[in-house]
Every structure is written in C-alpha cells, then in structure tokens.
Structure 1
Amino acid sequence: MGNKISIGLLGLGVVGSGVIKLIENHQEKLVHQLGADVQVKSVLVRNLDKQRDVDLDRTFLTTNPDDVLNDPEIDLIIEVMGGIDEAREYILKAFSAKKHVVTANKDLVALHGPELQKAARKNKCDFYYEASVAGGIPILRGITEGLSSDRIRKVMGIVNGTTNYILTKMDQEGLSYEVALKQAQELGFAEADPTSDVEGLDAARKMAILARLSFSMDVDLEDVEVKGISDISLDDLKYASQLGYTMKLIGYADFRDRQLEVNVQPTMLAKNHPLASVSDEYNAVYVYGDAVGETMFYGPGAGSLPTATAITSDVVSVIKNMLLGVTGSQYVDPHFNKELKESDKCFGQFYVRLHVKDEVGVFSRISALFNELNISFKRILQNPIIKHEKAEIIVVTHQTSLENFQTALNHLNDLDAVMETKSYYKVEGDAEK
C-alpha cells in the first residue's frame, strides 16, 4: 500500500463523476487524515466515447471489468454502476481478490446485503454502503456507531426525495399529483419512469437496510409492507391541513418485544411532528432509542456531491481500517431472529374518509360499528354534498390495532348507508391545539 491508495471505480455516471471531483478537490485533506495519497487508478465504463461531467484522461477508462477487479495495485473498489446482478457479481469478485468495496447501490444492499457482508468477512475485506440510504445524510454510521450503545426502538423517516417533493407541491401549492410529478421530472428529481419512487419501492429498499442495522436482524425486502402516493387526492391534503396534519410518505420500523413492524405508506403527520416540516426533495430520519430518546438526521437525500460525500467518507473509513490492520471486522452476525408482528400487535391512529347517503341516522350506524370493535373517534368532520344528495364524513380514530381497523373497513362496505370508502391513512402525532 505504501503512501498511495489506488481505487478502482465501477461506473462513471452522475455519482461516479462526483466521487472523482471530491477526491481530486479534497486531496490535501485526505492526505492530512490518512498520510497517503488517494488516487483513482482505473474506471469501468460502458462507452469510452461518452461525454461526461468530469475531465478524466481516456487512459484511465476501460470497458473490461477485469482491468479493475484483477489489478493487483488497486486496493479498494467503489461501485456506482447501479443494477443488481452484474454489480453483485463484480463485488463478489472484488472480495475474492481481497479488495475492499464501497457502494451506493441500495437495490443491491437491500436484496443481497447479508450475503455480501459475509463474503467480505470471509475474505477479511471491508464492505461499506452509507450512501445507499438518504444520500449525504450519515444515518447508517449514526445508527451503527453513534447509537451503538443504545437500544433503538423506532426508526421512521422521509427517505425518498421524489415523493416528498411531489407531496410538498401538492400540499403547499395545490398542484395535482400529475402536475407535481411532471415538475419533479423536469427538475431531475424523478425518473422518466417514476414507478419505483411513487409506489414506495425505493423507500422500502432503504427501510429494509435501516431496519436490518437498527435492530440487528436479517430483514428482507419482502418483509416491508408498501403503499405509494399515486392515489393521494388534493381533497385528502385539504382535510389533513384542516385537522392539523400534513401528508408524507413515511418509512416506519418499530421493534418491541422482539417483534418487528416495518412498512412504507402515506402518513398524516401532526404539523408539530419533527418530520412534518421536511419539504421538497430533502430527506430526514427520526430515530428513537431507550437511552438517547429522540434524534433526527436531516439533509439532501440525493445528488452527485452529497452522495459522493457519503461514499468518500466510507473510503476514508476503509483506508483507516487498512492502516490499522482491522479490515473485515465490522460485520456482526444478527442478534435477533426475525419475527414479524401480526396485525393485532400493530397499533396506531387512522384517518378515513367516507361518502355516505345524506339521511338521518347514518353517522350513528357508522359509530356503532366502530364501537363494537373498541375504536373511538378523536376528530370528526361532516360535510353535505348537496348536488349529489350525499355527505362526506371524515374521522380520525384514537389508538387502535391494525386488525380492528381493517375489520372496520371491511364491515363499512356492508352498511347500506355507506356509498364508498374514499381513502384511509395512518396518522402519527397529536394535532390537537
């Protein structure tokens, strides 16, 4: 290794270009911290002739992965190419060649993180992935190092900037979902195909990683219940505001009595909740621990340089481990066996909006149904819709089990007076003045 650390880069898109800029521009600081030069020696690309955001000599580029993975002078691999199968193959090859790996690939880590961690430990290599969740926010390091002595009970957050931008514009400017989405695409916050973001899949991958690290158990992507934002209406945002709430796509993980609840869903947050003021493309993660109480991590969740900052921080950690001779030691086997909560053990408040016949006794029948399931109402709104001879009823429940609430929803459809259940959402926080 000597006084020079050589890095191989897999991918040279927006993030990869940011990594090179950061390493070049911060070379003096890196040398001061590490006592060694940090240089990118070789970069794997798909097209040698493509125009890029960084000025890099063509001799550094290659289309052959073996030029990077099998180069004996390269100490560390940074994977920013994206995708799953090919990236997994290259990372496993890197470990076999005794090379350490840093990645920003949330899809890969969510699906194959435990396997890659074990392969890294077997080969005495480091495997870091801070940039896979919330871009430049050091949330994974905060959990695994800053809160390592605490017992974390709950993690919830806004971990997708695209959906937060869309909901902010709908809520604050009254834009329709379609217009807000188009605006997000024009600004580069949303992909041409936004499905992964707006349907909650991107957030679910990040929550699988967060839950895995927070609670020391093997959490799989399929363990995360997911609901996206594409069905949210301006009517619900209007009523939310009237009741003292704002709507966010929230990733939620709770661990009690050795049982796990983890989901991603649109949630009405009380306006005094720490996450309620997080706007536009920003991310934030709220963590509750037995000892520390409430903490929150906030910042840009994506972007070239914020993500590159997280990657470079991981690179510094790996190099320090190399200098100390302790690489491959950060992975610890899960402490707990995974046990997911049944719906009767998941509790919360809920919002529901109904269209009903505008006639005497309707609300009393609805109230009786909820009372039979021990569900009481905390907030109630009722508005006549004169043109259609129907009424709109909005209720927010007190704390109840998910099982009882789902039973109530099913039975509402059996009531002749209920014309349609328009929407329902989980509620977090106390919005009462």
Structure 2
Amino acid sequence: SIIFQEPMTSLNPLHTIERQVGEILKLHRGLDDKSARARVLELLHKVGIEQPEKRLAAYPHELSGGQRQRVMIAMALANEPELLIADEPTTALDVTIQAQILQLLADLQKEMGMAMLLITHDLGIVRRMAERVYVMKSGEIVEEGRMEEVFTNPQHPYTRHLINAEPKGDPPKADDSRPVVVETEDLKVWFPIKAGLLRRTVDHVKAVDGLSLKLRAGQTLGVVGESGSGKTTLGLALLRLISSKGPIAYVGRRIDGLTQKQMRPLRKEMQIVFQDPYGSLSPRLSIGQIIEEGLVIQQPQLSYDECRAKVGEALREVGLDPDSQDRYPHEFSGGQRQRIAIARAMVLGPKFVMLDEPTSALDMSVQAQIVDLLRDLQRKHDLAYLFISHDLKVVRALCNYVIVMRNGRVVEEGPAEEIFSNPQQDYTRELLAAALNLAVTEKTAATG
C-alpha cells in the first residue's frame, strides 16, 4: 500500500470517509456493508482518530490535515500490507502533528510486522525512523548504508551537502529604536457561526482574539503555532484583506477605517508571498506577465519596455535569468517558482511583506537558499517581514522576535533567542520539543 504526500488532494472530496476506506475492503476482501463499516471503525480507531463514529459521514474538507493523513494511513492498512510506501507522509503537517504521525507509523509497523519504504527530504525524519538509507540524486542512488554510518560518516559530496543544508543564521536582537511599520492593538477577527432556518448567529469562531503587536523596519516577526491557531488570519487582517476589529496602523497612519479604494495606493507597499509556489502562480501566464501584473495596476504610466526592464531587474535580484520572462511556471522547479513569487512581491518596492509558510513545500537545501535570499533582500531594502511558519528551524534562522499563537491568542512572545532557549509556556515547550526531536539529525551530523 501507499500513503501519499498531500491527503487533501489524494482523498476524493465527493465521498465520505466511510465510503473511501470501505471501498478497498469491499473490492479486495468482498465484505458486505455492515462488515466493512465495522472494519472501517476499527481502522479509524487504530490510527488514533477520536470519536470515529462521528467521522464516518465526514468529508475530507471537514477534517484537519493530521486527521486526513490518519485516514490515508487507515486506507493503506485496510488490507494488512506486507510493504507500506510512505511518500513524504508529514510534509504538509505541523511539527507536533508530524511527531504524532511518525510515532503512529512506528507503532503500527511494530504491531503489524510490515516493511516500510519512507520517501522524504526531511533528514530529521530519516534519523528518527530509518534503519537503512538510500540517497538519490537525478534518478541514481549515490550512497547507501546503515542510517548511523550515512549520517556520521557520509562519503558522497551530495550526501554531505544535504546534511549541512539546514537553514542557518543568527538574527540580531530586535532593535526597538527602528521605526514601527505595522502596529495593532487588541485585534479581533471573529467569524460568525449561523444556525437554524433564519441563519441566526449562535456563536463565533475566534480566529484572532485580542492580539497586539509592533513590527519594525528591517526586522522579522515570526508567528508560530499549529494549524488553526490563527497565524494566516492575522496576516490577512494586517493587510486589510479580511474584516477585523481593532486599530491597525501602517507607518503611523490608521488604515483600519480606509475603504478598499483608499487602500489601493498603499497596496504596492504591502505584499505577500504564499505557501504553495505551484498553486500561487497562474499556469496560463508567463512569469513576465505574472510579475508585471502589479506594475500595470500601480504604475500604468510605464511603457512596455520599462515594465520589461523592471521585471528583468526583479528576476536578477532573486537569482533568476532576466531573459526567462517568456517562460511559464511549469518550466521551473519548486525553488525557482518561489523565487518568482518573491520577485512578484519585490517588484513594487514594498516596505512590509507577509511570508506565509514560504519554505514548507521545498526541500531542505532549497529552503536554506530561500532563507538566504530573504535575508539579503531584507538587508538591501530595509524590509519588515511577518514570517508565518510551523518550521521552527527556519524561524530560528530568520526571525528577531517571535509570537506563539494558539486558538487565536498569543500564549508567549519575546526575542527569538529567549523563546528558543528558555520557553515559559508548556505549549511552546511542546512545539519546540517536537521540532527539536525531528531536527536532531543536523546537529548530530554536524558534530559527527
């Protein structure tokens, strides 16, 4: 059996969980509806889904990322396979959920006595799970051996490159004398829950609930927390892309009361880089058209040649060939696409950039390159970054100040150095413990 990387796209959105898991049992085991239902419940319970009876009629979009991945594992285990192929099984998940899924796979492997082929770019996961390692490059195996041997004494240059590719950096402490770019106090984003025939509001989802922050020029504010903690909602509210309550100031000017028309001149100074470089670039447009779109709207006086020149300069700044403007997104790798997304944000000369999980879809070595690029651009243009991530290794490499969110509230905040060296809250310690457990590889390899 096989577990795929992204459970949201590998599960059928039109079918319930019971139907999808049960289909395998009916096809391969010939079970009737009643027997299949009982076996589905047993499998959901085995993979750690709480109240499985209530999940039988659920659709994939009604489950969290971790729950969807557990359903995928249940489907893979339905026929008690001798070999389980796990293809990047935790890439899209938060660190705490990653740790839970890996522990689940290890427990199930021991209980069922099956072999597991684990495909991943995260060396921390390899260190934790594997007994034997094969390193691949360009379709060929360049090194193989027992896990301890490969990590403590890598023979091939590519293996050494992978082991040393963790994003590194020691950001300076936040300088409180720098001008404030974005500020908010007691910010709230509540989504109504409606029920009944008249669709009356019966409660609210408090996505952001009474949050205050200051982001200064040249600094990176890291926002960490599990899925559903309100990280992305916070960023969208600060950019005035969703409704919120509470004062928001940009470079000393209140913007929370401005209309969308009044906001338009400020849009060029407030940009966003999205998580998925595959989904955030239109496949129908060339990269030149993608990057120049903001220029056409914000600076309509520019001629065609002037636009091309600015796009070329933006591409050069992010390390891409300026002459590649007429190529399309599918012709580029994931890391190159993320550079294109960064160029699209930078071409307008912003002061504030929201980075929403910009490295989570990328390999470790490419992550390090993107972190270095972001750091160079920040230094050159004095940018203020709001860096949203669940990857604490990247946060540690890039951020001066960190806030930890849970259920819409800040549970802890402070200089990054203090948060990582001396966390005060149990939840922060839990996040760090999960991340450091997965990240132990690089440290061991570096000292080995």
TM range (shorter): under 0.3
Normalising by structure 1, we get a TM-score of 0.25
- Bigger helix share: 2
Normalising by structure 2, we get a TM-score of 0.24
The higher relative CO (CA closer than 8 Å, separation ≥ 6) is in 2
